[in-house]
Amino acid sequence: MRIKIIMNPWSDQRQAIQHKSQIETLVKQYGTADLVLTEHSGHAVELARQAANNGYDLVVAAGGDGTVHEVVNGLVRGDKADAMLGVLPIGSGNDFAFGLGIPLDNLETAVARLFQGQPRPVDVARIEDEHGRYELFDNNFGLGFDAVVVIRSEAITRVRGFLMYFLAVLQTIALYYQTPHVDIWFDDEKVSQETLFLAMGIGPRGGGGFLLTPDAVSNDDLIDSCLVNPIGRLTMLGMLGQAIKGTHIHSKHVTMRKNKRIRIQANMPLPIHIDGEVFAYPKDNVRQVTITSIPAALKVMV
């Protein structure tokens, strides 16, 4: 089996590069793999596509959720990936790996699974806006408050991992409050209301530790969603601990659904993130998106 490892040295606040020699040493215990470093944003998309074109059987994202996101977008064409995906979770959030049971704190075991694991089919989803821009996401989506958290986390450099996202949440609670009116079609069900945020998940976790869609299953051809009504700041703080545990799903302020296709139209520009990467800033003037499940698009070595 030919393996290509695509490593993002800037993952985890530029700490990921420290794992390079360890990964190379561990790989030698099981076989061989070609390792390449990304050089700029979007580079992993190009490298993954090239690896698939060159006949690699397994393409490994060594980094965080952003690195996985780029590799997936390089591998999947149409509705299928051209090569299997592997993950070495050395980023800040590692939520995709968490959802698939890939060890987050044991790099030796994670490397071993690249050679000794079994492939599992995994869904992805496609997002397209009214301007014709589209991408795939493999783990989660956030609109409104949830996306602003991601935008604020981009400016936080002194802390890493879950603490970085938690601090961004607190900042967003203190400084942001918008509740756009949205028309949402969950398959054939139409909902019209103001909302604080809408989160979706192919996997259960986002933000390095928030179980916003705790019941999400990665291979059921369904996108789990969490629609949150406008609530006050004190209520937000009270629900923060619930979101970490996944118990917010029982709140009267929250509606959970499972669907194959979701279309959203808003009365104002929407901040949107996918897999912890910003898809749209408010300045991009995105007011309409359509999200569609693509079943079993990936085979992930777990």
Q: Give the whole-angstrom CA distance, residue 67 versus residue 190.
A: 34
- 3-117 under CATH 3.40.50.10330, yes or no: yes
Q: Give the whole-angstrom CA distance, residue 299 versus residue 302.
A: 9
Q: Helix crossing, 145-153 with 161-175: angle to 10°?
A: 120
Q: Give the whole-angstrom CA distance, residue 37 versus residue 47.
A: 9
What is residue 58's predicted lDDT score, i.e. its pLDDT? 98
What is residue 171's predicted lDDT score, i.e. its pLDDT? 94
The residues of the chain scoring below 50 in pLDDT are none
The 8-class DSSP code of residue 30 comes to T
Q: What is the DSSP string of 142-184?
A: EEEHHHHHHHHHTT--S--HHHHHHHHHHHHHHH-----EEEE
What is residue 105's predicted lDDT score, i.e. its pLDDT? 87
pLDDT in tens, 170-212: 999 999 999 999 999 999 999 999 999 999 999 999 999 999 9
Report whether 274 contacts 151 (CB < 8 A). no
Q: Classify the phi-psi angles of 144: left when phi > 0, otherwise alpha if psi is within -120 to 50, otherwise beta.
A: left
Tokens describing residue 171: 């900042």
Cβ neighbors of 227 (< 8 A, separation 6 or more) are: 184, 191, 195, 198, 254, 255, 256, 257
Task: Report phi then psi at 32, rounded to 5.
Answer: -130, 155
Comma-separated ranges of CATH 3.40.50.10330 domains in the chain: 3-117
Pick the CATH number of 127-296 from 1.20.1250.20, 2.60.200.40, 3.40.50.1820, 3.20.20.10: 2.60.200.40
Tokens describing residue 96: 């995709």
What is residue 60's predicted lDDT score, i.e. its pLDDT? 98
Q: What is the DSSP string of 191-221?
A: EEEE-SEEEEESSS-BTTTB-SSTT--TTSS
Comma-separated ranges of CATH 2.60.200.40 domains in the chain: 127-296
Report whether 63 contacts 17 (CB < 8 A). no
Q: Give the whole-angstrom CA distance, residue 232 versus residue 248.
A: 15
* Pairing state between β 58-63 and 84-89: parallel
What is residue 44's predicted lDDT score, i.e. its pLDDT? 98
What is residue 117's predicted lDDT score, i.e. its pLDDT? 96
Rounded to 10 degrees, what is the CA torsion of 68, 98, 223, 165? -80
Cβ neighbors of 152 (< 8 A, separation 6 or more) are: 168, 171, 172
**Which residue has 């980094």 as its token pair?**
63
CB atoms within 10 A of CB 84: 22
